[in-house]
Each structure stands twice: as C-alpha cells, then as structure tokens.
Structure 1
Amino acid sequence: MITHIVLFKLKDRSPEAVKRTYDVLVNMEGKIPVLRHLEVGMDVLHLERSYDIALITKFDSLEDLKTYDTHPVHEEVKAHMKQVLDGTSICVDFQS
C-alpha cells in the first residue's frame, strides 16, 4: 500500500475558508475508484508554524497513485487548491 500525505497552508486561514477547502477535499470520497482511504483533518492549534489542513490518502500501488493524480475529480481539487494555497503544499509518499 502507498500512503500519500499532503499538508496545506491557505492564504485565508479563517475557519470558514479552511472549512470550504476541507469540504472540497472530503468531496473526493467515493468518486475515485483507486482511492482506498481518505482522511482530511483541520488544524486545531492554529500556530504560526501550523498548516491548516492535512490530507491522508492510501492506494494499492504507485500506479494507482498516478491514476488518482490525473483523475478528473482530483484535477478539480488541484484547480481549487491553486487558488487558495499560500505558496506550495508539502507532501510525503511512502510504502505502508
């Protein structure tokens, strides 16, 4: 299994803006066949060094992760993220 974790820091860090992006990410649930697990969390500490949202996804293989990356639903999410991100996201992918 491949675990893909992404952390996002948003331009607008208000609770409403973070919740809107949280909803966009959660909306992928059940819409991408290769996506085996989806978990989205919103930061609770709100420190300067904190990221606003964490996305944890799991796939059966690297090939499935590549399929997810170009899936139309994920493309819509990436378009949203380009508009709301404060800089770039950070990620780690590992075998689990």
Structure 2
Amino acid sequence: MVRVEDLYDAAERAGLLTPVVVGAATVHCAFRAPDETVLDGLALARDFEIEYAASRLALAPGDVVTIAGEPYRVREVRALGDGRECRAQLARLP
C-alpha cells in the first residue's frame, strides 16, 4: 500500500511542492494562489491554500506560515479523505 507520505516525497523530488516554513520546521506542501494555474496548467486555484500530509504538519486556525518569504495566517483546516491529508485555507498578512 502506498502511503500519503510517499506520494508527497515523490512530488517533492519532482519539484511539484513548495517549501512552507512553520516555526523552525520546513515542510513541502502543495501551494495554490488565487488565479494561479497549478499542476502544469490543469487547474486554476481560487484561494491561498496548502495541502499536506497530516503526519508531517499540525496546523490550526490562527497559525502563521511563511511561503517564499511571505507570511500567511491559517484561516481554516480541513481533513481530506481518510484524514491522512489536510487542506489549509490561508490569508496573506500585510
């Protein structure tokens, strides 16, 4: 059985993920920005959000993450599927 972590590791090696800094830790996540094409043009993102393996990162509303030097506040976190993967909606901080 393929683990979610294995899929994220493969996506990271392929250069499909973005480093996200949370405190002193850096975790590679799928990052989407408004009106940005993602997955090589196959989809269009509507909000700032990240998807990540739940075993590698624990986020809660109000947490701050840094992506490409820009700070974002976590607005909402949802478990996806069986809960081994999560999606966090983000708001860019001024």
Structure with greater strand percent: 2
Structure 1 length-normalised TM: 0.29
